């Protein structure tokens, strides 16, 4: 009986582990797999100058793999508390699909953004907390941000502001930008619309001929690993993304440059 009880307990543990991990790439294996997929592409598609702003990129492909694996391990390990509380879910199948896409994609397909968010991967870190629910980090919220009134401890998921709502001290929802003068959110501008800065444009690019008026232009060629990702979510809601992956923001700019977080996308 004792032997049967031991076997049953072992099977129960294995069953739980399988349920938590699911198919695809396990949470433990993900950091090394990310590094093996991303770094060869980074040193094929990006110039050393483009990679200088991301500490995880290292100085060559080998150092990139070791630094990227270490950085993503810290980021993904930070999710374990949220996973245990059932506030986020890690999807190993989506991680595997994302890395397969990166390996097979051309440089033109990858270099549409300076981080993983937006390169076409589905989010592999899935938020589970609805608006009004308890949270400890933004990555746990299905929509919006984790509002901590006191700055510490538990917070509450609240939606991000949209058109006409105040964006003072907070970012706008996806599809909107914060007007620096009015401190109100406005809808992102479509291509060929006159603009002042890239942040106003849905493409992220505001350009014009020398001396001429600037307008929103198609996304320019950028290094997809110039900064890190955000848990596979779009800056890490919804997609890479190696976005999060919103895995969300471990890469730091060298020396005095500002840090860039991983949370949307290998989003």
Whether the pLDDT of residue 2 is over 70: the answer is no
Q: Is this structure's pTM higher than 0.85?
A: no
- What was the pLDDT predicted at 117? 65
Contacting residues for 162 by C-beta, under 8 A, at least 6 apart:
172, 173, 176, 185
Whether the pLDDT of residue 246 is over 70: the answer is no
Whether the pLDDT of residue 250 is over 50: the answer is no
- What was the pLDDT predicted at 9? 37
Whether the pLDDT of residue 21 is over 70: the answer is no
Contacting residues for 166 by C-beta, under 8 A, at least 6 apart:
183, 184, 185
- What was the pLDDT predicted at 230? 52
Whether the pLDDT of residue 243 is over 70: the answer is no
Residue percentage of the chain with pLDDT more than 70 = 76
Q: What's the mean per-residue pLDDT of the chain? A: 79
Structure tokens at 3: 């032997």
Whether the pLDDT of residue 108 is over 70: the answer is yes
How many Å apart are CA 163 and CA 185, to the nearest integer? 5
Higher pLDDT, 242 or 85: 85
pLDDT band at 266 (very low <50, low <70, confident <90, very high): very low
- What was the pLDDT predicted at 209? 79
How many Å apart are CA 168 and CA 185, to the nearest integer? 9
Whether the pLDDT of residue 129 is over 80: the answer is yes
Residue percentage of the chain with pLDDT more than 90 = 51
- What was the pLDDT predicted at 59? 94
Of 2-16, 120-134, 177-191, give the lowest mean pLDDT range. Answer: 2-16
Whether the pLDDT of residue 238 is over 60: the answer is no
How many Å apart are CA 55 and CA 64, to the nearest integer? 9
Whether the pLDDT of residue 208 is over 50: the answer is yes
- What was the pLDDT predicted at 198? 86
Report, as an integer, the average pLDDT of 228-236: 46
Structure tokens at 17: 């582990």
Higher pLDDT, 48 or 17: 48
- What was the pLDDT predicted at 247? 36
Of 29-33, 93-97, 149-153, give the lowest mean pLDDT range. Answer: 149-153
Could you tell me where the beta strands, DSSP code E, fall in the chain? 88-90, 125-127, 134-135, 145-147, 155-158, 176-178, 185-187, 205-207, 215-217
């Amino acid at each position: 009986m004792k032997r049967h009880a031991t076997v049953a307990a072992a099977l129960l543990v294995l069953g739980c582990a399988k349920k938590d991990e699911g198919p695809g790439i396990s949470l433990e294996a993900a950091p090394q797999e990310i590094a093996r997929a991303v770094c060869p592409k980074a040193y094929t598609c990006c110039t050393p100058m483009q990679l200088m702003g991301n500490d995880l990129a290292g100085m060559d492909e080998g150092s990139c793999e070791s630094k990227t694996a270490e950085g993503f391990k810290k980021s993904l390990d930070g999710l374990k508390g949220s996973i245990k509380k059932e506030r986020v879910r890690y999807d190993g199948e989506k991680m595997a699909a994302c890395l397969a896409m990166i390996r097979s994609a051309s440089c033109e397909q990858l270099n549409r953004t300076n981080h993983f968010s937006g390169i076409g991967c589905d989010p592999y870190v899935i938020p589970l907390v609805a608006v009004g629910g308890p949270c400890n980090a933004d990555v746990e919220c299905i929509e919006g941000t984790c509002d901590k009134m006191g700055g510490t401890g538990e917070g509450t998921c609240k939606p991000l502001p949209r058109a006409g709502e105040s964006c003072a001290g907070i970012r706008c929802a996806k599809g909107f930008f914060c007007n620096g003068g009015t401190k109100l959110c406005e809808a992102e501008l479509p291509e060929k619309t006159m603009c002042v800065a890239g942040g106003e444009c849905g493409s992220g690019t505001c350009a014009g001929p020398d001396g001429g008026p600037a307008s929103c232009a198609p996304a320019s060629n950028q290094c997809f690993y110039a900064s890190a990702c955000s848990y596979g979510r779009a800056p890490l809601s919804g997609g890479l993304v190696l976005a999060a992956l919103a895995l969300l923001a471990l890469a730091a700019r060298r020396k005095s440059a500002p840090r860039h977080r991983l949370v949307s996308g290998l989003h």
